[in-house]
Amino acid sequence: MAYWLFKTEPDTFSIDTLKAQQVSCWEGVRNYQARNMLRDEVKEGDLVLIYHSSCKDVGVVGIAEVVRGAYPDHFQFDPESDYFDPKADPENPRWIMVDIKYRQHLPYVSLAKLKANEKLVEMPLVKRGNRLSVMPVTAAQWEEIMAMASR
């Protein structure tokens, strides 16, 4: 089992939305590095920190579990979708998604607190210039964030 952090804008898709749906596809990843992680590394059974971004209170807000590994993001082929990609080829899909299942809300852990924690200095999220929507989290980082959420 591996650990991940998935960023989402709560105005578009929040932890509350995931709780209401219980299981959702994680679509719309349009960065090749993030896509490659979804395709090659994210697996069924992995745990995911849900992170609200581009909002007033950015930070970790919950946990999900990957319940279906990588498969083609069907929105890339839908001209009505915001995620449509006219260069995408059904024979060789460009974009990938996974399905995640709601596990639980966490007490909010702000980005400022994550950045201030010396145990998390190597976490991609807190490093300058890292804006990926999918990021790996080490077991030690996961445990530290769980500890922060329980304080």
3-state SS of 115-151? HHCHHHCCCHHHCCCCCCCEEEECHHHHHHHHHHHHC
Q: What is the domain-level CATH number for residue 115?
A: 3.10.590.10
Q: Is the pLDDT of residue 76 over 90?
A: yes
Question: For residue 118, is it left (φ>0), alpha (ψ between -120 and 50) or beta?
Answer: alpha
The whole-number pLDDT of residue 88 equals 94
Q: Note if the pTM is more than 0.85.
A: yes
Mean per-residue pLDDT over the chain, rounded: 96
Domain that holds residue 42: 3-150
Q: Give per-residue pLDDT as tens, 92-136.
A: 999 999 999 999 999 999 999 999 999 999 999 999 888 899 999
Q: Is the pLDDT of residue 85 over 90?
A: yes
Residues of the chain with pLDDT > 90, as a percent, come to 96
The whole-number pLDDT of residue 129 equals 82
143 Cβ partners below 8 Å, 6+ apart? none
Question: Number of structural domains, the chain?
Answer: 1
1 class by beta-carbon count within 10 Å (0-12 exposed, 13-18 middle, 19+ buried): exposed
Q: Is the pLDDT of residue 63 over 90?
A: yes
